[in-house]
Amino acid sequence: MEWLRSRSAYLQAAPLSLIFLLFFVLPIAMVVVVSFFDYQAYQILIPDFVLFNYQDVFSSEVTYRTYFITFRFCLMVWAITLVLGFAIAYFLAFHIRTITMQIVLFLLCTIPFWTSIVIRMIAWIPLLGRNGLVNNALVASGFTDAPVEWLLYSEFAVVIGYVHLYTLFMIVPIFNSMMRIDRSLLEAATDAGASGWQTTWNVIVPLCKPGIAIGSIFVVAMVMGDFVTVNVLGGGQVASVGKAIAAELSYLQFPPAAANSMVLLGVVILLIMLLMRFADIRKEL
Amino acid sequence: MSNNKNQTTPKGAVSRRGVLKGMAAGAVAGGAMIKGAPFVHASEPITLRIAGTGVNQFKELADKAKEDLGFTIQYTSLTSDDVVKRAVTQSSSFDMLDAEYWMLKKIVPSGKMKGMDVSKIKNYDKIVPIFTKGELPDGTKMSRQGIAPIKVSYLAGEESSEFATDPSGYMTLIPTVYNADTLGIRPDLINRPINSWAELLNSEFKGKASILNIPSIGIMDAAMVCEASGLATYGDKGNMTKAEIDTTMKVLTEAKKDGQFRAFWKEFNESVNLMASGEVVIQSMWSPAVTKVRSMGVPCVYQPLKEGYRAWAGGLGLPSHLEGRQLDAAYEFINWYMSGWAGAFLNRQGYYTAVLETAKPFMSEDEWGFWMEGKKAATDIMSPTGQKIESAGSVRDGGSFWDRMGNVTVWNTVMDEDRYMVRKWNEFIAA
């Protein structure tokens, strides 16, 4: 009995630790191992300890270019989703008075998530295509003579897709933070003579930091790892790190894909550490 | 994988419960049967799971097989790259592999396939000699650039993982369909004759061209284009040197940076959508994709080009784990496949079937004349699924079997420098 009591904390933590070990640590460890393997077209995994998979990653100019493009996507999508997400969450939290209405509007935001991610992306194609709705409208209204080409199969289309898919991940944590703000603080700010803008900037934004950080982690991690959206809306022409890995996997080049994945993992971890410096997420959880 | 979204189970597939029941029953019966015992149609249903590129996966074929043989055919449709990956890494997930010949160079060395005993194939002698001798039915030798099927048709033995140079009695794949590929165009949006592969990079089609993003096939289309436009010369397009790969990829990369390409496609349906929507007016295409665009009422021509065709061929192969009742069923399915009905069905799709003479009685004289002999259609030509694809009086693009298969310049391929080529191709896609 005594034995059980002294170790109960460990026992309670054991199931989760085991699951983590089995489904997270072990697979990652295997990816690390494979990233040092040799490979050939006919023999996909040759146990070995070679460094050329990493050498290929770091010596290729393409790597740096794809990372640059991916970072740029990240930055653009992060900025847009942050502004959109903050504005929508602000509206929901402070302008809608009744809880019922808040729930209704919140559900409205989630409607796009009722269909699969693939369908949500493909839906953009008939809209943005050369003979799509947007182009038809532009031509018909006389804004342009010829259809606008860069709407689809371009970086623009990819960014639109990301914003569409990921804004909600920004709204939810920010909304959550906003709902926890003590309303008397806002009243105090008003009483002290702060304008609406000052209240937002000096009271609400600082208190929303954890929500912003969590939302940012979601968005950054998803954009960094994406390879589906970039393929569908980029027409296979726009590069991203995730896509490069997916391409290597589909050609059975597992070791270089593993090496590439480890590099990506490292980069994403660094980014997240950076974001964590801006807000204490533990406090929020 | 992004490609997994393409995995489909056609409506003809049975329910999960049905499969489980069937498999359990099959296992019991298989265990009880003595090896070599005559195959009996037991009451327990057999399910054959076929993994392949979807180019010849049709519900109608599965339904007809069910009707004639009592088997349930379950298709898994994958992109070409995923077929190779699946065959090498998870061969137990299917009972038959519907692969292309070039894939064999990657799959066979893994030992995951077994040779097929030709003595169990009823119509073996009637298979088009492209596969058994490397020549056309009239004895003309076919191009051997790339992976011509004859190079990889036979294994040294049933359990061997090496290719035999001469017919050995053990085939890697029993050919099902093959075709001569070329560029597809939208004649209504181009309005002038196209007769060379070089047109793919013509600046006139800037932002309106596409090439397929499957390296083994795309590199061949690229080579045809480079050679036709005089930008590169090759010793053997099907087995390039590193320098030749570099030249080819440089031409493509420059074209890409200039905005020549609208998109790249990987999967059959993507090419259909690009063409039908008018996003693209000239692109690498597969014959049934052209048929599909046309059946949507959009004009599309599978344009014969003066430099010749890039050919491919696919067939059914057996994974090495197959045995007992499932193995017998697989042979029975293959024999059924070659007995005519399926061949006629595929010929009507615009492919060619491996055994022409059994397919002929299943087609009308007019259909045979149109698809095989390049004759004018006397009546409207229908797709196997019943849509009108050609009006009376039209002629097949490229003409007869002889005009098309006789003009093959190169086959789809896996090169000796495959690893280098794939890396370069990857850089091109990322560029």
In this prediction, residue A1 carries a pLDDT of: 65
* Nearest CA distance, B110 vs chain A (angstrom): 7
* CA atoms of B274 and B280, how far apart (whole Å): 6
Count of domains forming chain B: 2
Q: Is residue B367 part of a domain?
A: no
Task: Report CB contact under 8 Å: B262, A153.
Answer: yes
* CA atoms of A137 and B4, how far apart (whole Å): 35
Phi-psi sector, B207: left (phi>0), alpha (psi -120 to 50), beta: left
B144 and B192, same domain (yes or no): no
B296 and B320, same domain (yes or no): no
Which chain B residue is nearest to residue A153, measuring alpha carbons?
B263
The residue among B291, B288, B342, B285 whose CA lies nearest residue B316 is B342
* CA atoms of A241 and B135, how far apart (whole Å): 45
* CA atoms of B163 and B171, how far apart (whole Å): 9
Looking at the partner chain, which of B3, B422, B429 has a beta carbon nearest the beta carbon of A253?
B422
In this prediction, residue B391 carries a pLDDT of: 85
Looking at the partner chain, which of A40, A129, A237 has a beta carbon nearest the beta carbon of B264?
A237
Task: Report CB contact under 8 Å: A237, B263.
Answer: yes
Q: Is residue B352 within 8 Å of B177, Cβ to Cβ?
A: yes
Q: Is residue B213 within 8 Å of A236, Cβ to Cβ?
A: yes
Looking at the partner chain, which of B106, B273, B279 has a beta carbon nearest the beta carbon of A130?
B279
Tens of pLDDT, residues A259-268: 999 999 999 9
B155 class by beta-carbon count within 10 Å (0-12 exposed, 13-18 middle, 19+ buried): buried
B213 and B290, same domain (yes or no): yes
Q: Does A65 touch chain B (CB under 8 A)?
A: yes
Task: Report CB contact under 8 Å: B81, A250.
Answer: yes
What are the Cα distances from residue B152, in Å, to A33, B132, B172, B176, B411? 34, 10, 7, 15, 12
Identity of the residue numbered A186: L
B167 and B237, same domain (yes or no): no
Q: Does A222 touch chain B (CB under 8 A)?
A: no
Taking 3-state DSSP, the helix, strand and coil percentages for chain A, each rounded to the nearest 5, stand at 80, 0, 20
- Strand spans (E) along B238-281: 261-265
Task: Report CB contact under 8 Å: A131, B109.
Answer: no
Phi-psi sector, B56: left (phi>0), alpha (psi -120 to 50), beta: alpha
Q: Does A129 touch chain B (CB under 8 A)?
A: yes
What's B177's DSSP letter? E
Residue ranges of A 43-62 with Cβ closer than 8 A to chain B: 43-44, 56, 60, 62
Q: Is residue B383 part of a domain?
A: no
| Structure tokens belonging to residue A86 | 């903050």
Q: Determine the structural domain holding residue B133 and report its residue range.
A: 2-176+312-361
Chain B residues with CB under 8 Å of a chain A CB are 1-3, 5, 79, 81-82, 84-85, 88-89, 105-106, 109-110, 207, 213, 215, 256, 261-266, 273, 277-279, 414, 418-419, 422-423, 426-427, 429-431
Which chain B residue is nearest to residue A238, measuring alpha carbons?
B430
The residue among B187, B105, B185 whose CA lies nearest residue B146 is B105
Looking at the partner chain, which of A125, A152, A236 has a beta carbon nearest the beta carbon of B429?
A236
What are the Cα distances from residue B11, in Å, to A50, B53, B57, B231, B346? 48, 17, 12, 48, 20
Task: Report CB contact under 8 Å: B81, A66.
Answer: no
Looking at the partner chain, which of B207, B422, B430 has a beta carbon nearest the beta carbon of A149?
B207
Task: Report CB contact under 8 Å: B256, A235.
Answer: no
**How many CB atoms are closer than 10 A to CB A38?**
14
**Cβ contacts of A256 within 8 Å, gap of 6 or more:** A39, A53, A56, A57, A248
What are the Cα distances from residue B164, in Å, to A40, A168, B171, B354? 22, 59, 9, 21
B130 and B261, same domain (yes or no): no
> For chain A, what is the largest distance between any 2 Cα atoms, rounded to a whole number of angstroms?
84
A142 class by beta-carbon count within 10 Å (0-12 exposed, 13-18 middle, 19+ buried): exposed
Q: Kindly list the averaged pLDDT for each block of 10 residues, start to end, along chain B of length 431.
A: 40 44 45 45 77 84 91 88 88 92 89 91 91 88 89 89 87 92 93 93 93 88 93 91 94 92 87 91 89 88 92 93 91 93 90 92 92 91 82 88 90 86 83 71
Q: Is residue B370 part of a domain?
A: no
Q: Is residue B219 part of a domain?
A: yes
The residue written with tokens 């559900």 in the block is A107
* CA atoms of A86 and A92, how far apart (whole Å): 10
Q: Is residue B394 part of a domain?
A: no
B265 and B356, same domain (yes or no): no
* CA atoms of A162 and A275, how far apart (whole Å): 20
B169 and B316, same domain (yes or no): yes
Name the 3-class secondary structure at B116.
Answer: strand
Looking at the partner chain, which of A42, A153, A246 has a beta carbon nearest the beta carbon of B263?
A153
* Nearest CA distance, A276 vs chain B (angstrom): 30
| Structure tokens belonging to residue B408 | 């093959």
For the domain spanning A57-284, the CATH number is 1.10.3720.10
Q: What is the CATH number of the domain that holds B170?
A: 3.40.190.10
* CA atoms of B334 and B358, how far apart (whole Å): 14
* Nearest CA distance, B238 vs chain A (angstrom): 16
In this prediction, residue B13 carries a pLDDT of: 43
Q: Does A195 touch chain B (CB under 8 A)?
A: no
Q: DSSP readout, A157-176?
A: HHHHHHHHHHHHHHHHHHHH
In this prediction, residue B30 carries a pLDDT of: 42
Task: Report CB contact under 8 Å: B84, A252.
Answer: yes
**How many CB atoms are closer than 10 A to CB A258?**
25
Q: Is residue B259 part of a domain?
A: yes
Q: Does A244 touch chain B (CB under 8 A)?
A: yes
In this prediction, residue B427 carries a pLDDT of: 83
In this prediction, residue A239 carries a pLDDT of: 82
* Nearest CA distance, A281 vs chain B (angstrom): 32
* Nearest CA distance, B213 vs chain A (angstrom): 8
Q: Is residue B225 within 8 Å of B182, Cβ to Cβ?
A: no
Looking at the partner chain, which of A131, A244, A246 has a beta carbon nearest the beta carbon of B277?
A131
Q: Is residue B378 part of a domain?
A: no
B189 and B283, same domain (yes or no): yes
B213 and B261, same domain (yes or no): yes
B156 and B225, same domain (yes or no): no
Give the residue extent of every domain in chain A.
57-284
B174 class by beta-carbon count within 10 Å (0-12 exposed, 13-18 middle, 19+ buried): buried
B270 and B333, same domain (yes or no): no
* Nearest CA distance, B405 vs chain A (angstrom): 29
Buried b (16+ CB within 10 A) or exposed e, B108-133: bbbebbbbbebeebebbeebbbbbbb
B195 and B295, same domain (yes or no): yes
**How many CB atoms are closer than 10 A to CB B162?**
10
Q: Is residue B425 part of a domain?
A: yes
A164 class by beta-carbon count within 10 Å (0-12 exposed, 13-18 middle, 19+ buried): middle
Q: Which residues on chain B are in Cβ contact (under 8 Å) with A126?
A: 277
* Nearest CA distance, B194 vs chain A (angstrom): 23
**pLDDT tens, residue order, chain A (285 aa):** 677 777 888 888 999 999 999 999 999 999 999 999 988 766 678 888 888 889 988 988 888 988 999 999 999 999 999 999 999 999 999 998 898 999 999 888 888 788 888 888 888 888 998 888 898 899 889 888 888 888 888 899 999 999 999 999 999 999 999 999 999 999 999 999 999 899 999 999 999 998 999 999 999 999 999 988 988 898 888 888 998 888 888 777 889 899 999 999 999 999 999 888 877 777 655
